[in-house]
Amino acid sequence: MRILVTGANGYLGTGIVEAILNSGNEVIAVDFNTDHVDSRAKKVACNLFEIENPYEYFGKPEVLCHLAWRDGFIHYSNAHIDDLPAHYDFIKKMVEAGCKHIAAMGSMHEIGFFEGSINESTPCHPTTPYGIGKNALRDLTVMLCKQNNCVFQWMRGYYIVGNSKFGSSIFSKITAAAEEGKKEFPFTLGQNQYDFIDYPDFCTQVAAVVGQSQEQGIINICSGRPEKLADRVERFIKENNYDIKLQYGVFPDRPYDSKAIWGDSTKIEKILNKR
């Protein structure tokens, strides 16, 4: 299949493009610049929101894998609300022109404060502009896909573990600090439990979702189990042989973070087992 991947040069995009290519599908990779994108992809550097007819312009892709999103780690950024109409307009143009398979990246922050396992029926009460923006785009994309008889997949992402220093996650920040030679890293108490998924597994799961159309709706991109933040970060430091120690209790926990939250992995496991 020919799969259009937006946000292809970002932290998630580069690995997802590679995983889709490895699965045997063709990729049109779109971003403001594409210098980190796998050379096997067809690269298009542009502002996708300025393209009048994106479906035609990008070669009539069978699938849209929409990853593009600004300030994903800055949960109170105005961009999450300011950019929402542009995301909606872009997806609307794609489906109305003929793209019949829409897969977009969501976030567990759509849920808001919740404790326990999240499935596709879990009510959403987002509490940050990031969660509110993603939740609104999901509702709008569902509507567009129903109106145009399209495959709808919403890939709800959880906590990604990766050692790229270019990301904005706790793991990227620790990697950057270790490479700078720092010996200590200020930290929370780390008692909250989250669903952690290693970066390569995350990319593989996304590629598996967009490469099929049988499983639709909200699909958790997750490990399916909770783990204490402190335990996962300590393990991450050991896995990468970093000479750095955590300074516990320097920062408070974010008030909107749940004490224990993880994804129900039933649907993604079904997809992976069918490959």
Residues 40 and 154 both lie in one domain: yes
Residue 20 sits in which domain range?
2-159+196-224+260-273
Based on the domain organization, do 138 and 240 belong to the same domain? no
Domain assignment present for residue 91? The answer is yes
Structural domains in the chain (count): 2
Q: Tell me: the pLDDT tens digits for 75-115?
A: 999 999 999 999 999 999 999 999 999 999 999 999 999 99
In a domain, 255, yes or no: no
| 269 is a domain residue | yes
pTM given for the model: 0.93
Tell me: do 201 and 92 sit in the same domain.
yes
DSSP string, 22-36: HTT-EEEEEES--TT
Between 78 and 274, residue with greater pLDDT:
78
**Residue 6: inside a domain:** yes
Please tell me the predicted confidence (pLDDT) of residue 69.
Answer: 97
Q: Which of 130, 158, 194, 199 is catalytic?
A: 130
Whether residues 129 and 178 share a domain: the answer is no
Shared domain for 131 and 27, answered yes or no, is yes
List CB contacts of 112: < 8 A, sequence separation 6 or more.
Answer: 124, 125, 126, 127, 131, 256
Inform me whether the pLDDT recorded for 257 exceeds 80.
no
CATH number at residue 54: 3.40.50.720
Q: What are the residue ranges of helices labelled H in 23-113?
A: 54-57, 79-82, 84-97
On the question of pLDDT at 189 being above 90, the answer is: yes
Is 130 among the catalytic positions? yes
- Of residues 210 and 258, more confidently modeled: 210
Residues 100 and 64 placed together within one structural domain of the fold? yes
What is the pLDDT of the chain when averaged over all its residues?
95
Instruction: Report how far residue 217's alpha carbon sits from residue 226's, in angstroms, rounded to the nearest whole number.
Output: 23
pLDDT band at 123 (very low <50, low <70, confident <90, very high): very high
71 and 146: one domain?
yes
β-bridge partners, 220:
156
